[in-house]
Amino acid sequence: MASPKDSSLRNRSRQPTPEDMKGDKDVPLHPTPRSGQSRYCISVASASLLISLLTVIIYRRCVSSTTLSSSYALCTPNGANIYTVDDKNSKVQCLVVRNSHFVDAGPLYDVQRRWSDLMASENVTEELQVRYTGPQEIVVPGLTDSHAHVLEYGATQQMPLEGTQSIKETVKRVREYILSDPELRDNRSRFVEGWGWDHTKWLLEEWPTYDDLEADSVVAGRPVVLQSKDGHALWVSRKVIEDMESLPDEVEGGVIIRDSDGNPTGVFLDNAQDMVIRPDPTYSMLQKRFATAVKDAHAVGLTAVHDAGFKPMSLAFFKRQAEEGNLPIRVYGMTYFNESADYWGDRVQKIVGAGDNRLSVRSIKIFADGALRSGGAALYEPYTDNPATRGFMRTSPELLNDVIPRFMRDGWQVNVHAIGDRANGVVLDAFEEALKDVNVSALRPRLEHAQILAKADMARFGSLGVIASVQPTHAISDMWFAEDRLGPERVKGLYAFRSIIDHGARITLGSDFPVEDMNPLAGFYAAITRVSPDGKSPHGPGGWFPEQRMTREEALRGMTIDPAYASFTEDALGSIVPGKRADYVILSRDIMSIPPPHILTTKVITTVIDGKPVYGKI
């Protein structure tokens, strides 16, 4: 917070000398504040050097009414604890914000001197407020989730189904939700929607059926649509199926699960989900979902998200929010690709930096295959635990080889969901084919998830300039069933982060929320440890395939400058460098040095976008 402005005290204060503070020394600028004090102003008074060499430091805790100036310096009291994530991974003592941008970074004395020089050159007088973090706190650039589903997250908070251990427990949660809402309880024609069930976590791993919903008297007879945790399966009630048109025997890129008599049981996988018709949410419902997601995102330090799938409704919503100036977080959107629609890449206008650089939509999201949990990931060889299938491609190789080069010729970034080794290989083939017409690396194509990779394909990431957009928390979720599903050899290519990096590729980190925890520190922890939150893994406390761990520096870059690169914004975002937007986060502990278990208890103190707090205080 600001230094006291009492003139008599200020006149008696001694300015730090170059010998005091020049250089990023790991020494305190002043004594450690008392426990419980996290924001401080200081004034420094010196007794006469002829009488005493003792410098008296007087602390004043800043009151909440103190106004944050448009220009201020934020410093860490115990040495250089601001991680800039610049090209040298530098650490500095202070950052300086002017309006919405960083204008300086370095030792306190240097930034004060340069600020005075700047004011003199502009012939203006503007005081530089100096504020301090708490003694254990650090500052990092604003954090980005590179693969998320914003409005879907907001929807999940209405009736979350994650964490149940059986079909019966899940149905009970649906029942309780219905009974808690009088309008829903009394109107049996209203749709009941929820998200998050995960049959792989149930004590008895099996697909649910609509009969399970009909067995409960409160739930029975209602239109119920429940999305799975990974977003690749819908569990619906009998009423929903009865209201659908006649179902086809097969769905390209999807599956309708049937019983032994060939009747649908109520579960639709991947592309078959598109057959389930639900009423569209109203604009006010979307606003409520968005507000919920943003509030939670700011609380965990997110200043930007890459939304992995704007369908027309979502795209229209975010465009309206940008036009009305209602985007409190940066959103990089991927336009959803509908394989049954006509090609549109040559006639749709891209959005770059709308709403004061809060919204960009210049990429396309294509689904190559399904998910590992639901057995839809496309593999070269059959599943170990289900030799009857190799999974399936949601988009045919022929169509991928057609549309990927076309979108890239028209200047679109192409981001492809690919889980299985076959799906990743097919997409890399398509990117390689596109090289005949365009510079692939200049358009920064991305493989979203890039989960299972053949050794030969790992090398192609670096040579083609393809970005691996990965989710470390998926690794520690899937590690418990992955080897049963893939076998002891093929599983070595699953979530092989180190192998991808060592082949020269750039990795960017996300969570896939609401599939996984939104907190980016959970992903940071998973990336560097490859163990569950309780310190366990199938390979012991050292981590699941520990040779694939990322370093802390790589993980931090994967949440800051690398997602900025992956969204063409590295000149404006991703590091604490003069000229960039002043997005940053204050953390309660130094995640770059504390023991890994303590990372998960680290708190976000303040989240700042364009120099102003959106969560917490400075």
Average pLDDT over residues 110-138: 95
In the block, residue with structure tokens 């000229």: 579
3-state secondary structure of 189: coil
Average pLDDT over residues 492-503: 97
What backbone torsions phi and psi does residue 348 show, to the nearest 5 degrees? Answer: -100, 130
> In the structure encoding, which two tokens stand for residue 450, read together?
């890039």
> pLDDT tens across 537-593, in order?
999 999 999 999 999 999 999 999 999 999 999 999 999 999 999 999 999 999 999
Average pLDDT over residues 240-259: 91
Tell me how far apart the alpha carbons of residues 247 and 259 are, in angstroms, rounded to a whole number: 14
- Residue 66: what pLDDT? 55
- Per-chain mean pLDDT for the chain: 89
> pLDDT tens across 203-218, in order?
888 999 999 999 999 9
- Residue 520: what pLDDT? 98
> pLDDT tens across 269-281, in order?
998 998 998 888 8
- Residue 545: what pLDDT? 98
- Residue 22: what pLDDT? 43
Strands annotated E in 157-203:
192-197
Going by C-alpha positions, the residue among 153, 271, 276, 274 that lies closest to residue 210 is 276
Candidate from 65-79, 348-362, 495-509 with smallest mean pLDDT: 65-79
Q: How buried is residue 488: exposed, middle or buried, by Cβ count under 10 Å (0-12/13-18/19+)?
A: exposed
In the block, residue with structure tokens 């937007």: 581
Tell me how far apart the alpha carbons of residues 388 and 610 are, in angstroms, rounded to a whole number: 54
- Residue 440: what pLDDT? 85
Average pLDDT over residues 134-147: 98
> In the structure encoding, which two tokens stand for residue 156, read together?
């999940």
In this structure, which long-range contacts are made by residues 340-348, counting pairs with CB atoms below 8 Å and at least 24 apart in sequence?
Answer: 343/403, 343/406, 345/403, 345/406, 345/407, 345/410, 345/412, 346/406, 346/410
- Residue 155: what pLDDT? 87
- Residue 94: what pLDDT? 98
Angle between helices 312-323 and 283-299 (to 10 degrees): 70
Q: How buried is residue 248: exposed, middle or buried, by Cβ count under 10 Å (0-12/13-18/19+)?
A: exposed
Average pLDDT over residues 99-117: 97
CA count, 13 A, side-chain hemisphere, 399: 19
Contact 370, 344 (CB under 8 A): no
3-state secondary structure of 585: strand
pTM (whole model) above 0.85? no
> pLDDT tens across 434-491, in order?
988 888 889 999 999 999 999 999 999 999 999 999 999 999 999 999 999 999 999 9
Candidate from 61-75, 267-281, 414-428 with smallest mean pLDDT: 61-75
Contact 42, 59 (CB under 8 A): yes
Contact 509, 574 (CB under 8 A): no
- Residue 613: what pLDDT? 98
Contact 164, 202 (CB under 8 A): yes
CA distances from 170 to 174, 235, 439, 517 (A): 7, 11, 49, 20
User: pLDDT tier at 158 (50, 70, 90 boundaries)?
Assistant: confident
Average pLDDT over residues 508-528: 97
Question: Does domain 155-275 match CATH 3.40.30.10?
Answer: no
- Residue 29: what pLDDT? 43
Question: Quick one: CA torsion of 247, 250, 253, 259, rounded to 10 degrees?
Answer: 80
- Residue 24: what pLDDT? 41
Contact 321, 286 (CB under 8 A): no
- Residue 69: what pLDDT? 83
Average pLDDT over residues 371-381: 93
User: pLDDT tier at 120 (50, 70, 90 boundaries)?
Assistant: very high
> In the structure encoding, which two tokens stand for residue 164, read together?
């149940």
Contact 572, 142 (CB under 8 A): no
What is the DSSP code (8-state) at residue 78?
Answer: B
- Residue 436: what pLDDT? 87
**Res. 532: pLDDT tops 90:** yes
**Res. 186: pLDDT tops 70:** yes
Give the residue range(s) of CATH 3.10.310.70 domains in the chain: 155-275
